[in-house]
Structure 1
Amino acid sequence: MAAPGGDTPRDPGLQPERTRLAWRRTTLAFAVAALLAGRAAVLHGGSPADLLGLSLCAAAWLAFTVTAQRRITALGARRPGTLRAARASWAVLCVLVLAVTGALLVFLGPR
């Protein structure tokens, strides 16, 4: 594959490594957010609604972790492919589920 404006091959440099590290940081931040949402559910007394929220957070975290690990593995290839729209959409959906569920656990729980 030629670089734009020239006939030399593309040299990605450290870009795939930076992207792998970004996926790992995001996965770690996601885990922390899920744990905080779980803590909020436990502190609120563990009502059925809290347990449902905790379950949704755990499922979103697990789905995001699987998606991130697949992308990290794909980036380890010599010539990594682009991120598919379906996987990107899935990652965004997981983040939205965690954000909404976490916010509901924190703001709608007993004071």
Structure 2
Amino acid sequence: MVAGAATPGDEARDPGLQPERTRLAWRRTTLSCTVVAVLAIKLAFIGEPTAAGLAGLALSALLWVGFLAVAHRRIRSLDAPRPPVLSVRGAVLATGCAVALAVCGAALIW
């Protein structure tokens, strides 16, 4: 290796707009989850509130807060010049919260 030559890892990285697109995707997904949670609140109080409806509402709120925490943490990490890869734990948690929130929404409609 020649003295002073840059190695592949030493080059300045130009991520372009990719981190911004990822940040916007996280925000859109968070907005979608918020809409589901708000609709769950509305559905839980149509007619007379039942214990099952209130339990579904509580579970939906818990799942929404969990997803919001993962999304917020990921959005903040994208501010770095070289954002870290999303951890397996974070990906599983975000996916699990989104799927469970969809199931809760469907159960409240049913």
**What letter corresponds to residue 20 of structure 2 in structure 1?**
E
**What letter corresponds to residue 32 of structure 2 in structure 1?**
A
Partner of residue 46 from structure 2, selected from 43, 47, 50: 43
**Structure 1 residue 77, shift from structure 2 partner:** 0.8
What is the percentage of aligned positions where both structures have the same residue? 49
Aligned to 2:91: 88
Is the counterpart of residue 22 in structure 1 residue 4 in structure 2? no
Runs of 4+ in 1 over 3 A off after TM superposition: 7-10
Q: Give deviations 1:1-24, integer Å, cap 9, x for gaps.
A: 849xxx965421010011011101
From the superposition, tell whether residues 83 and 54 of structure 1 become closer, same or farther in structure 2 (CA, over 3 Å): same
**Aligned-residue CA RMSD (Å):** 1.8
Is the counterpart of residue 70 in structure 1 residue 73 in structure 2? yes
Whole-Å Cα distance in 2 between the matches of residues 53 and 18 of structure 1?
33
Aligned to 2:3: none
Q: Give deviations 1:24-48, integer Å, cap 9, x for gaps.
A: 1110111001111121111142100
TM-score normalised over the length of structure 1: 0.86
Structure 2: state its 5+ residue gaps: 1-6
Whole-Å Cα distance in 2 between the matches of residues 28 and 15 of structure 1?
20
TM-score normalised over the length of structure 2: 0.87
Q: Give deviations 1:30-73, integer Å, cap 9, x for gaps.
A: 10011111211111421000000000000000000000000000
Partner of residue 57 from structure 1, selected from 46, 60, 79: 60
**What letter corresponds to residue 69 of structure 1 in structure 2?**
H
